Amino acid sequence: MAAPKFEVPTLKEVSEVPRVQEGAMAHIQSFVANAPIQQAIGFPGELVENWEQKAIEKMGDLLGKYRSFKVYLDACVHCGACTDKCHYFLGTGDPNNMPVARQELVRKVYRRHFTFAGKYFPKLVGATDLTREVLDKWYTYYNQCSECRRCSVFCPYGIDTAEITMAAKEILDSIGYGQKYTNEIIGKVQRIGNNLGLPGPALEDTLEGLEEDIEADTGVKVRLPLDQKGAEVLLVTPSADFFSEPHVESLIGYAKVFHAAGVSWTLSSHASEAGNFGLFIGNYDTMRNIALRIREAALELGVKRIIVGECGHAWRVAYSFWNTLAGIGAGANDPFAVELQQQLDPRYPAPQHICEYTYDLLQRGVLKIDKSANDHRVITFHDSCNVARGSRMGDMPGGQFVIPREIIKMVANNYHDMEADTIHESTFCCGGGGGLLTDDLMELRVKGALPRMEALKRVVDGQQVNFMATICAICKAQFSKVLPYYGFDMSMVGGVHQLVSTAIQLKQEE
């Protein structure tokens, strides 16, 4: 790790809310997307000439299409409930990282152009025109929001800053002012099928290599099939699982679980990505196009079930939006969705999370587990924001908190939760979600991880925790990078199925 060019916050015994430090993060500027990146996904290559007019038109368009955007811009009373809830504010003290102030950047312009008070009494209600300075502020600070929704838990009206951020990013994209990292990835998934731009043959090689590794390790031939027609299960997982550490350990875990359950399964080279960065830029069409790849793969392969690997925002999109976007779910009566829904096995939820799947097998005693294999680990669980606040697992509200923890407790002996106000729906973002997992935002990522790092420190010191499990590819990548800044070992973070993988006992095939 090179010496950072910024001051890494110190971890405090008792977490504190910082004083407001105006402009503390004004210098942060995520790389702007160039023309080829923008044009590849249907946006203007550079800032269009009449950008102010176009931006206001786009805002009007979104106000007519999204009730959330319209209601949230009107309903805020500046009560301040959200001001100390954002991890980026807590880590930086920059007031524009308070959710209300972040919203206000768009709200001021909304007032000016779309409300009576703002049109006639702009000073009174703090309305402003969309100047170049304001536009740049949008770019700076909407690229400092990970769309984690923590603020929406505490807002008395449920105002979700993520909705405002997504709308702002959609406006910025539509006038040619997109962010490089996110838009480049969207281009890759649309062109190649996954965020890493890993083509089919390379994927096949990788999977074969993993099969060899597992056999060398366990003596058992565990398969990782690709494009297998007629398989029971289609597994859609974040592409990071194919070769990033520690992600790949969880992929090995899924394969072992399917193997032990004796269920035929397959990955798809057409839909080799669960992640859907279309969510981050709030663009319905983009999000839908990416989701349609999963539908096409499921129809093509003729699978009965669709299971999603460990990925936070992917699970939100899969659980909450796939039925809407691509008819992957149940309860449809239109021909488009019925086509796929008739093919899927109605006895299982569609889509299903890999944790729901494994939990069911564990409960039924299908998997043979040796818990002591995880005895070298003292484990805690980091709830990923999109799973915690934008989705569910199982039959009951809050199942997304219970099921991963139950799995951990069924495969390991040592488990401790972090403090109550830092887990479940109050969980803190890892600091790298929402399209911010890029090196040009490293200062933001390190500072934004502060609240989670403080909570982690307390269980490390108090309960000797040495492993933080999580079910999100972004969380895993972010923590691997950020943990060392705070003096932790980068290998402390890993997946829930990494733990399953360690404990599962495979039978030699006859």
Partner 1 sequence: MSALTILFACLFYAATAMMVFGLGYKIYDYARTPAPLKIPTTPAPTTTTGVVFRIFREVVFFESLFKATKWTWIFGYVFHGALALVLLRHVRYFQEPVWTVVALIQPFGLYAAFGMVIGLGGLWARRFLVDRVRYISTLSDHLMLALLLAIGLTGIGMKFVAHTDIVAVKAFMQGLMTFNIQPMPEDPLLLAHLFLVACLMAIFPISKLLHIPGLFFSPSRNQADNPREHRYVSAWAAKLEQK
Q: Which is nearer to partner 1, 122 or 200 (CB)?
A: 122
Binding mask 403-442 for partner 1 (x = CB under 8 A): ----------------------x-----------------
Minimum CB distance to partner 1, residue 66 (Å): 7
Compute CA 57 distance to the chain's CA centroid, rounded to the nearest angstrom: 30
Which of 334, 439, 509, 510 contacts partner 1 by CB under 8 A? 334
Minimum CB distance to partner 1, residue 115 (Å): 7
Compute CA 276 distance to the chain's CA centroid, rounded to the nearest angstrom: 9
Q: Which residues pair with 307 in a beta bridge?
A: 235, 352
Minimum CB distance to partner 1, residue 68 (Å): 5
Distance (Å, rounded) from C-alpha 42 to C-alpha 400? 35
Minimum CB distance to partner 1, residue 387 (Å): 9
Residue whose structure tokens are 């304001």 = 134
Respond yes or no on whether the N-terminal peptide bond of residue 238 is cis (omega within 30° of 0). Answer: no
Which of 1, 23, 27, 116 contacts partner 1 by CB under 8 A? 116
Minimum CB distance to partner 1, residue 146 (Å): 15
Minimum CB distance to partner 1, residue 442 (Å): 26
Minimum CB distance to partner 1, residue 296 (Å): 14
Question: Within 485-504, which residues bind partner 1 (CB under 8 A)?
Answer: none
Q: Which is nearer to partner 1, 242 or 321 (CB)?
A: 321
Q: Which is nearer to partner 1, 391 or 478 (CB)?
A: 391
Question: Within 13-42, which residues bind partner 1 (CB under 8 A)?
Answer: 17, 19-20, 22
What's the token pair of residue 495? 């997946």
Binding mask 367-396 for partner 1 (x = CB under 8 A): ---------------------xxxxx---x
Question: Within 79-98, which residues bind partner 1 (CB under 8 A)?
Answer: 79-85, 95, 98
Centre a 10 Å sphere on the Cβ of residue 77 and count the other Cβ atoms it contains: 10
Q: Which residues pair with 455 in a beta bridge?
A: none
Q: What is the DSSP code string of 40-81?
A: HTTS-SS--TTHHHHHHHHHHHHHHH-HHHHHHHHH-----T
Binding region for partner 1 (CB under 8 A) out of 66-74, 246-254, 362-370, 373-381:
66-74
Q: Which is nearer to partner 1, 104 or 241 (CB)?
A: 104
- Going by the DSSP 8-state scheme, the letter that residue 320 receives in this structure is I
Minimum CB distance to partner 1, residue 492 (Å): 27
Distance (Å, rounded) from C-alpha 87 to C-alpha 379? 23
Q: Tell me how many degrees the CA angle 101-105-110 measures, rounded to the nearest 5.
A: 125
Which of 30, 38, 68, 140 contacts partner 1 by CB under 8 A? 68
CB 431 within 8 A of CB 457: no
Q: Which is nearer to partner 1, 377 or 389 (CB)?
A: 389
Binding mask 246-285 for partner 1 (x = CB under 8 A): --------------------------------------xx
Q: Which is nearer to partner 1, 254 or 319 (CB)?
A: 319
Size of the residue set binding partner 1 (CB under 8 A): 79
Question: Within 183-242, which residues bind partner 1 (CB under 8 A)?
Answer: none
Compute CA 79 distance to the chain's CA centroid, rounded to the nearest angstrom: 29
Binding mask 283-322 for partner 1 (x = CB under 8 A): -xx--x------------------------------xxx-
- Going by the DSSP 8-state scheme, the letter that residue 306 receives in this structure is E
Binding region for partner 1 (CB under 8 A) out of 176-184, 240-248, 346-354, 362-370:
346-354
The SS3 call for residue 233 is: strand
End-to-end CA distance of the chain: 48
Question: Within 351-370, which residues bind partner 1 (CB under 8 A)?
Answer: 351
Minimum CB distance to partner 1, residue 474 (Å): 18
Centre a 10 Å sphere on the Cβ of residue 443 and count the other Cβ atoms it contains: 18
Q: Can residue 451 be called a binding residue for partner 1 (CB under 8 A)?
A: no
Q: What is the DSSP code string of 408-447?
A: HHHH-S-B----GGGSGGGPPP-S-TTT--SGGGHHHHHH
What angle, rounded to 10 degrees, do the helices at 161-174 and 99-114 form? 60
Please give, one letter per residue, the 3-state secondary structure of 473-510.
HHHHHHHHHHHHHHCCCHHHEEEHHHHHHHHECCCCCC
CB 152 within 8 A of CB 159: yes
Minimum CB distance to partner 1, residue 491 (Å): 31
Minimum CB distance to partner 1, residue 276 (Å): 12
Which of 157, 371, 417, 440 contacts partner 1 by CB under 8 A? 157
Q: Can residue 398 be called a binding residue for partner 1 (CB under 8 A)?
A: yes
Q: Can residue 400 be called a binding residue for partner 1 (CB under 8 A)?
A: yes
Which of 29, 49, 78, 302 contacts partner 1 by CB under 8 A? 78
Cα dihedral sign, 387-392-394-396: positive
Distance (Å, rounded) from C-alpha 467 to C-alpha 479? 12
Minimum CB distance to partner 1, residue 486 (Å): 25
Distance (Å, rounded) from C-alpha 136 to C-alpha 177? 9
Residue 431's nearest CA partner among 390, 479, 488 is: 479
Minimum CB distance to partner 1, residue 271 (Å): 19
Which of 144, 152, 283, 374 contacts partner 1 by CB under 8 A? 152
What's the token pair of residue 509? 């095939």
